[in-house]
Amino acid sequence: MALRSLLRRVYRNRWYALIVIWMCGLLFPFAISPLPGQASAQNLIQDGSFEQQGDSWEACGNVQLVDGQAAGFEFVNSGRYAVVMGVEADGSDCPQLPDLSTPRQILSQPLTIPVSAPAVTVSFWFRAATGMTIDVFLARGFYQFDPNLGGVKLGTFATDQPPGWQLYRTVLQGEQLARVRGQPVRFSIVIQGNASVESGAVLLIDDVSVIAADGRTTAAPLPPRLRGDGSRPLAVTRVSGQNRWLYRMDTDGGNVQLIYQGLVGNVRAPAWSPDGQRLVVVDHNTWPWPVPDPDPQNNLIASAVTVLNADGSGARQVYQTQSQKGSRCPFVPSAGEPVERPSFLVRLSGVQWMPDNTRIAIAQTGFGAFCNGNLAQGGRGDLLILAPPSPQTQTLAPHATRPAVHANGRILFDGFDLSSSRSNRAGGVWEIDTRTQPPGETRLIASEADRAPVWAPDGRRFAVIRLTTSPSADVSERWFAIMLYDRQNLANPRMLLFADHGRSISSLSWSPDGAYLLYTLERFDGRTDIWWLDVATGATGPITTDGNALEAVWRPGNRLFVPLVVR
């Protein structure tokens, strides 16, 4: 059935629109523009944004058009109209499939893939809530979804998603491309007949695109504002042979200077002090410094916290984790020790300065490890406060990791629980306010798909890394994204970057003016570079290109030139 014929049903029954809004929490102050860095090839989909009210689409099972102006709220990604699925998905008018099942809902449009297509990119924006399963196809017919009989299944994902509009995008190449090139197919979003649709399940769809090109994120030219000025505001860990050393460099990747080689050549997680005069880093694989592990057959490791001046001078160790030895490796059972005892390895995953410029927040994790590298059941992660020169720590937040400290005293972190009982802190993004006594904790984001939060300099916005559902529910096939949240409107984050130009992203860092983010991109060859991201436009590009940069942090405040020496 043509989709447009369903429009009157929605908005002559105004209550329906209000139910959709209530289910999704859709109180949007703004719409989201398409991300930059995408191919500009012609869209093979007609009326992909539904602004012609679905003239080119076919649907069944009570698929509805949504008018973003109908109830005084915006709940479309762009323009005026979008499609809602999941609500009252009753299978009406849907065909019986060859396996004798009847889909609950289908949204579909026919198209033909050019025979000369070098690749095919399928994308759409969606917002989802509560549980049901969605299948996405380039199918051979309105009723034929078996890839063994032609076409391609693009992916399957659940609608139990974190908040906000997000992009679904996948690129067909190789065998998948060969199956559809030169063929008439149908772009189809399907809720199968055997799918469980929970009460309140909603899927909003907008801005559908199928292009005969590789539409992944591409690099933009370096903005003039990021040209190097000689101040080397970036502290960067880089690979040098078997070592990981600390450097400083300009924002264009030039003017590189080595400032710290570490205790054992394994430096990670640099963080600038609030006044920009010192750095704190994690020195990994120390046991315990400066005394080496007396048993080279043991798999024990530890981490140290090192503070140094901005020029690399004055490095001093202010804390060290305490790991515990297990059985000697390689393990040989004996009468005195019939079963291997795992070592308990305690490491640091991150460090951040507190606003007072003296104390340090450290993320400490502990886990059991056997000689063969397998992990024992359970584990622990905690946020601690260290006040050098005292080596004593105070627990700030148990079962937590990845702290992000703001000058206003609020700290974002990820919930962390590897215990076998799973009864401790829930996952997601949390906030702790150190200005209250005792510090108050709030769970801001319930979904574990959003992680590694970092405050913007304004103390209101923060960015997270999201594990998206594109192109599949299989975690090994998913792409990462960067989402921007407003602390005063957590229901409506904005996607800044869809990172399908590499394997994964990590290590976000804000520029002092809040205009740019840095992130680490793991390339398809497994090496890593630092990229910049324009928060306003979504444009992105590389700062380093040699594959040896691991992570970078931006010096706060003014850019002051400090003479650099190697220590």
CATH code of the domain containing 93: 2.60.120.260
pLDDT computed for residue 455 by the predictor: 98
Indicate if the pLDDT at residue 29 is higher than 50.
no
- Mean of all residue pLDDT scores within the chain: 88
Average pLDDT over residues 69-82: 76
Indicate if the pLDDT at residue 59 is higher than 80.
yes
* Of residues 30 and 434, more confidently modeled: 434
Position 63 confidence tier, pLDDT thresholds 50, 70, 90? very high
pLDDT computed for residue 287 by the predictor: 84
Position 5 confidence tier, pLDDT thresholds 50, 70, 90? low
Residue 537 in any domain: the answer is no
Task: State the total domains in the chain.
Answer: 1
Indicate if the pLDDT at residue 330 is higher than 90.
no
Cβ proximity of 515 and 536 under 8 Å? yes
Look at the block and give the residue holding tokens 């093979």.
Answer: 44
Indicate if the pLDDT at residue 145 is higher than 90.
no
Q: Is 20 helix (H, G, I), strand (E, B) or coil?
A: helix
Indicate if the pLDDT at residue 343 is higher than 50.
yes
Of 4-8, 494-498, 554-558, which gets the smallest average pLDDT?
Answer: 4-8
What's the pTM value of the predicted model, to 2 decimals?
0.91
Average pLDDT over residues 55-74: 82
* Of residues 172 and 375, more confidently modeled: 172
Residue 327 in any domain: the answer is no
Q: Which amino acid is at 329?
A: C
Average pLDDT over residues 139-159: 86
pLDDT digit string, tens, across residues 185-238? 999 999 998 888 888 889 999 999 999 999 999 999 999 999 999 999 999 999
Closest listed residue to residue 376, CA positions, set 428, 418, 407: 418
Indicate if the pLDDT at residue 423 is higher than 70.
no
Residue 489 in any domain: the answer is no
pLDDT computed for residue 197 by the predictor: 85
pLDDT computed for residue 522 by the predictor: 97
d(CA 355, CA 409): 6
pLDDT digit string, tens, across residues 269-285? 999 999 999 999 999 98
Residue 81 in any domain: the answer is yes
Task: Give how far Cα 79 sits from Cα of 49, 84, 128, 498, Å.
Answer: 7, 15, 19, 21
Query: What residues pair up with 128 in beta bridges, in sequence order?
Result: 203
Residue 217 in any domain: the answer is no
Q: Considering the chain, what percentage of its residues have pLDDT values greater than 90?
A: 70
Q: Considering the chain, what percentage of its residues have pLDDT values greater than 70?
A: 89
Residue 291 in any domain: the answer is no
Position 417 confidence tier, pLDDT thresholds 50, 70, 90? low
Q: How many CB atoms lie within 10 A of CB 398?
A: 14
Structural domain including 88 reads 3-211
Of 21-30, 95-104, 264-273, 487-496, which gets the smallest average pLDDT?
Answer: 21-30
- Long-range contacts from 371-378, C-beta under 8 angstroms, 24+ separation: 371/299, 371/326, 371/327, 371/329, 371/330, 371/331, 371/340, 373/299, 376/342, 377/420, 378/418, 378/419, 378/420
pLDDT computed for residue 294 by the predictor: 75
Average pLDDT over residues 416-435: 77
d(CA 504, CA 524): 9
Residue 56 in any domain: the answer is yes
pLDDT computed for residue 460 by the predictor: 96
Residue-wise burial string across 441-475, b where 16 or more C-beta atoms lie within 10 A, e elsewhere? eeebbebebbbbbbbbbeeebbbbbbbbbbbbeee
Indicate if the pLDDT at residue 300 is higher than 80.
no
pLDDT computed for residue 519 by the predictor: 98
The two structure tokens encoding residue 347: 């490491």
pLDDT computed for residue 69 by the predictor: 84
pLDDT computed for residue 377 by the predictor: 80
d(CA 537, CA 534): 6
DSSP annotation of 43 reads: B
Cβ proximity of 248 and 232 under 8 Å? yes
pLDDT computed for residue 419 by the predictor: 53
Average pLDDT over residues 523-545: 97
* Of residues 262 and 99, more confidently modeled: 262
pLDDT computed for residue 228 by the predictor: 95
Residue 485 in any domain: the answer is no
Indicate if the pLDDT at residue 457 is higher than 50.
yes
DSSP annotation of 470 reads: S
* Of residues 29 and 112, more confidently modeled: 112
Position 35 confidence tier, pLDDT thresholds 50, 70, 90? low
